[in-house]
Every structure is written in structure tokens, then in C-alpha cells.
Amino acid sequence: MDKELRLEAALYVMESGLSKAAKIQMLNFIKEEASDAQIKALMLDGKIVQLDEQAEEVVNDRFAVSHLQEDPVVALGVAAGAFAVATILTWATSMAVKSYKKRMTAAGAACKGKPGAEKTACITKYQMAAEQEKMKIYKQALAKCSKSKIPAKCTMRVGKLIAKQKRAIDKLKEKHTRSRRSFGHGGMK
């Protein structure tokens, strides 16, 4: 039972145009009944099928040589058609959150024990690095948009994330400058 495969299939279903009741039924099938081969067939062909041993081998072989193995973000989008936009956004957001948490954990350790303004400046410095890392991830997502079914929609949505991220970085730069001045450094380095 491949949990990552089931998660990708669940995303495929959630982003589909199915009714809420149909989505619940499909998700229950994926969670409770579907074999890995049936999930692969769903992702390859967009439908649930009953498979015998020989058919499972064929599906597994098709899946192994398909684009689904190369880049799961782009692959799921290709398999799901217009669902690539949501897949790309989900991937970007997930990676950005992981990166941010990692950087801020490092900030906690590095800035521990520093007094007032010095601690604020230290944390802000790490926060800026974390926000800049998120920006890089969003730019990677923007590059993946060209491979989606609806590149313009993907570019627009990721572009909004990038613009929001730029505003957050600019705000942090101002905060960092203020905290360094109050600490006595006179400006950003």
C-alpha cells in the first residue's frame, strides 16, 4: 500500500469536477478498497477499473514508463488535465511551509539568549532568509506552470503568490532595518 500514491490520487479526486457525494465515494474507494494498480490506472486513464493479475502487470508497466514517475507535480497535472494548477500550488505551498519551519527552528537556536533589540534583529534576519527561500520555491512553481494544461491560469495564481511574497520580504527588510538601527548598527548589511 503506497501512501504517497493514495495521497496523489486523493488530490486528483478532490480537484475533479465530481459532485461532493461522488468525491466522498471515490475517496472511500481509494482509502479502503483500491489496490495500488487500480489507483495507477485511475491516474493514467481517469477511471476506476477492475484488474486481473495480467492487467495489473500491464498497468504497473505503463505507470513505470509514464511521465508520472518523472515529476509527480507535473505528472499528476498531465494525468488530471486541468488539475495541474492545484497540484502545483499544493506542492509549492507544502515546500514553502517546510522550508520556513526549518529556517525558523534554526533562528530559535541561533538567537536564543540574545537581549531585546538584538534578538529581534537576529530573528528578523532568519525570517528574511526563510521568506526568500519561499520566493525561490514559488519561482520554481512558476517554471512548472508552462507544463500545465492551463498555463495562463497557473501563471496568474503563482504570480499572485510571488507578489504577496515580495511584499512580505519588503516588509521584513523595513523591520530588519528598524531593529538594527535601534540595536545600534545604523542600517542593513
Q: Supply the DSSP string of 13-61, one letter for each residue.
A: HHTSS--HHHHHHHHHIIIII--HHHHHHHHHHSS-----HHHHHHHHH
> What span, in angstroms and rounded, lies between the C-alpha atoms of 36 and 30?
9
Helix axes 3-14, 20-28, angle to 10 degrees: 170
Q: Choose one of 38, 65, 92: the last residue of a domain.
A: 65
The label of the residue with cell 519561482 reads: 139
178 and 102 in a single domain? The answer is: yes
pLDDT of residue 186: 47
Position 72 in a domain: no
pLDDT of residue 188: 43
Position 73 in a domain: no
Number of domains present in the structure of the chain? 2
| Residues 122-168: tens digit of each pLDDT | 888 898 899 999 999 889 888 888 777 778 888 888 898 899 999 98
With cut-offs at 50, 70 and 90, classify the pLDDT of residue 70.
very low
Q: Supply the DSSP string of 115-127, one letter for each residue.
A: -HHHHHHHHHHHH
Share of the chain above pLDDT 70, in %: 80
Domain carrying residue 28: 3-65
Q: What is the mean pLDDT of the chain?
A: 78
Cβ atoms of 6 and 39 closer than 8 Å: yes
Cα–Cα distances (Å) from 142 to 11, 41, 98, 108, 156, in that order, read 20, 29, 18, 31, 9
Position 121 in a domain: yes
97 and 168 in a single domain? The answer is: yes
16 has a pLDDT exceeding 80:
no
104 has a pLDDT exceeding 80:
yes
162 and 85 in a single domain? The answer is: yes
Position 133 in a domain: yes
Which of 64, 68, 83 has its CA nearest to residue 18?
83
Q: What is the value of pTM for the model shown?
A: 0.52
pLDDT of residue 84: 57
108 and 60 in a single domain? The answer is: no
54 and 91 in a single domain? The answer is: no
101 and 161 in a single domain? The answer is: yes
Cα–Cα distances (Å) from 93 to 108, 117, 158, 185, in that order, read 22, 31, 10, 35
33 and 120 in a single domain? The answer is: no
Residues 57-72 have a mean pLDDT of: 67
Position 75 in a domain: no
Q: Choose one of 21, 39, 65: the last residue of a domain.
A: 65
Residues 17-25 have a mean pLDDT of: 81
Q: Of the ranges 12-16, 93-97, 151-155, 170-174, which one carries the lowest mean pLDDT score?
A: 12-16
42 and 100 in a single domain? The answer is: no
Phi, psi (rounded to 5 degrees) for 48: -90, 135
Which of the pair, 71 or 49, is modelled with greater confidence?
Answer: 49
Q: Choose one of 17, 41, 65: the last residue of a domain.
A: 65
